[in-house]
């Protein structure tokens, strides 16, 4: 499959269709199909496809849209009106105005068939108008309206090659949304959806991401023919249409209920009396045993739920109280522990201070003892020195006496 896509040229434009079945991303070949893509982008800018239904759905083949605000598949805006609007819009480039012939260049569409772009895979987006009828000036209204319609293939269709201009391709996984639209119930021959009046698949809005036509602008709303006609009716959208109008089926469902005519009945008076009784008094309807048990079970379950809720609240309150008590007990225990630690610390400090005082007292006592011992030793030494001095003096006295005697003796002898 990748080989198939690799042969196609690069796309230069991108739009997103928001549908009732999800978004559909479409890549555009603006360089290869300039006239077709320019007209298509102008219609998207002016909201032409907003609210359009997929009026033709053929399973496993294609889905088609673009029939202007149709009602029972009859266009409410003619092809001539749309052509006039397009000629006055930026769908016509300045180059086309300078050329002779048709300004919309329908005759150029045959030249926009590219051999590299074919119906060789699903998701190819092409204009619904066949190329053989694009240049025919005697087209019917139904055929002329095909100029603004396009279809998306749900499978490969090689028999359509060179018969329709392929100007885009569905990108990515949004192809599955297109396939979902293709599975909508529809008539096998015409492709008209079976729920056309109720809720057919449709386009909600169109978002244009980018395109190479820089001169294109949105057309004023008063110049749009499909908007003027759409304001007068529901545009065939049915339930939830583009203008929010209600379908005929919905109106029938909301039709006012008729009043019963009891005059034609022979027992009309009895019927009126019964209606008056039933309207004034509340009629007690019979209930089955299942309904009674269900009601009782609901009552009991509600009561049980209330009891359970009350008990849970009580438990929560008790739990909160217990938590507060536990917190207070923890705080008191922490205080007790801290006080004990502080007391132990004070005791240790006291013992340290007492030891230091004792050591100081002992040191003072020892110093005093040492001083006293020194004084005693000094006194003893002094006492010892005193007798020695006395003995020396006595000896000296004795010596002097002996010498005196000797000297006397010597003198006497002489």
The closest of 398, 412, 33 to 213, measured between CA atoms, is 33
> Residue 14: beta bridge partners?
27, 210
Say if residue 231's pLDDT is above 70.
Answer: no
- Residues of the chain above pLDDT 90, percent: 30
Q: How confident is the model at residue 256 (pLDDT cuts 50, 70, 90)?
A: very low
Mean pLDDT in residue range 299-303: 62
DSSP 123-140: TEEEESS-GGGTT-TT--
pLDDT digits (tens, 9 = 90+) for 330-386: 777 888 888 888 888 888 887 777 777 677 777 777 777 777 777 777 776 766 666
Residues 6+ apart with CB under 8 A from 85: 219, 223, 224, 225
Cβ proximity of 64 and 55 under 8 Å: yes
Report pLDDT for 239: 43
Mean pLDDT in residue range 253-280: 57
Report the alpha-carbon distance of residue 369 to residue 374 in Å, rounded: 8
Q: How confident is the model at residue 306 (pLDDT cuts 50, 70, 90)?
A: confident
Say if residue 49's pLDDT is above 70.
Answer: yes
Report pLDDT for 20: 94
State the Cα angle at 354 between 350 and 358, rounded to 5°: 175
Residue 87 CB neighbour total at 10 angstroms: 14
pLDDT digits (tens, 9 = 90+) for 134-158: 555 545 777 888 888 999 999 999 9
> Which region among 119-133, 152-166, 194-208, 368-382 has the lowest average model confidence (pLDDT)?
368-382
pLDDT digits (tens, 9 = 90+) for 184-193: 999 988 899 9
Report pLDDT for 374: 76
Q: How confident is the model at residue 230 (pLDDT cuts 50, 70, 90)?
A: very low
Say if residue 68's pLDDT is above 80.
Answer: no
pTM reported for the whole predicted model:
0.54
In this structure, what token pair is assigned to residue 141?
């209204």
Report pLDDT for 235: 41
For the chain, give the mean pLDDT: 77
Cβ proximity of 148 and 167 under 8 Å: no
Report pLDDT for 405: 77
Say if residue 75's pLDDT is above 50.
Answer: no
């Amino acid at each position: 499959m990748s080989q198939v896509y690799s042969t196609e040229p690069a796309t230069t434009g991108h739009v997103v269709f928001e549908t009732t079945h999800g978004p559909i991303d479409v890549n555009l070949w603006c360089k290869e199909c300039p006239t077709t893509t320019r007209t298509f982008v102008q219609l998207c800018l002016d909201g032409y496809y907003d609210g359009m239904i997929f009026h033709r759905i053929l399973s496993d083949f294609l889905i088609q849209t673009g029939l202007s605000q149709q009602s029972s598949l009859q266009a409410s805006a003619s092809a001539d009106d749309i052509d006039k609007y397009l000629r006055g819009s930026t769908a016509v480039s300045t180059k086309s105005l300078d050329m002779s012939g048709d300004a919309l260049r329908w005759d150029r569409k045959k030249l926009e068939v590219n051999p590299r772009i074919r119906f060789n895979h699903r998701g190819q987006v092409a204009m619904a108008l066949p190329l053989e009828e694009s240049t025919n000036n005697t087209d019917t209204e139904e055929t002329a309206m095909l100029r603004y319609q396009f279809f998306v293939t749900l499978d490969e269709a090689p028999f359509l090659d060179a018969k329709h201009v392929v100007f885009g391709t569905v990108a990515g996984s949004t192809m599955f949304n297109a396939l979902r639209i293709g599975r909508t119930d529809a008539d096998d021959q015409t492709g008209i959806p079976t729920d056309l009046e109720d809720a057919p698949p449709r386009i909600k809005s169109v978002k244009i991401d980018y395109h190479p036509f820089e001169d294109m602008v949105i057309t004023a709303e008063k110049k749009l023919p499909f908007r003027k006609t759409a304001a007068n009716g529901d545009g065939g959208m049915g339930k939830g249409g583009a203008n929010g109008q209600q379908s005929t089926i919905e109106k029938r469902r909301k039709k006012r209920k008729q009043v019963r005519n009891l005059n034609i009945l022979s027992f009309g008076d009895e019927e009126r009396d019964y209606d008056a009784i039933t309207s004034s008094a509340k009629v007690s309807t019979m209930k089955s045993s299942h309904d009674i048990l269900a009601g009782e079970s609901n009552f009991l379950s509600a009561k049980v739920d209330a009891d359970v809720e009350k008990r849970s609240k009580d438990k929560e309150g008790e739990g909160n109280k217990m938590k507060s008590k536990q917190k207070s007990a923890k705080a008191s225990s922490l205080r007790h522990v801290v006080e004990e630690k502080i007391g132990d610390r004070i005791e240790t400090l006291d013992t340290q201070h007492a030891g230091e005082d004792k050591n100081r007292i002992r040191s003072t006592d020892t110093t005093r003892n040492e001083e006293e011992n020194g004084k005693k030793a000094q006194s003893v030494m002094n006492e010892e020195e005193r007798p020695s001095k006395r003995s020396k003096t006595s000896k000296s006295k004795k010596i002097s006496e002996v010498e005196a005697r000797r000297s006397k003796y010597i003198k006497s002898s002489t």
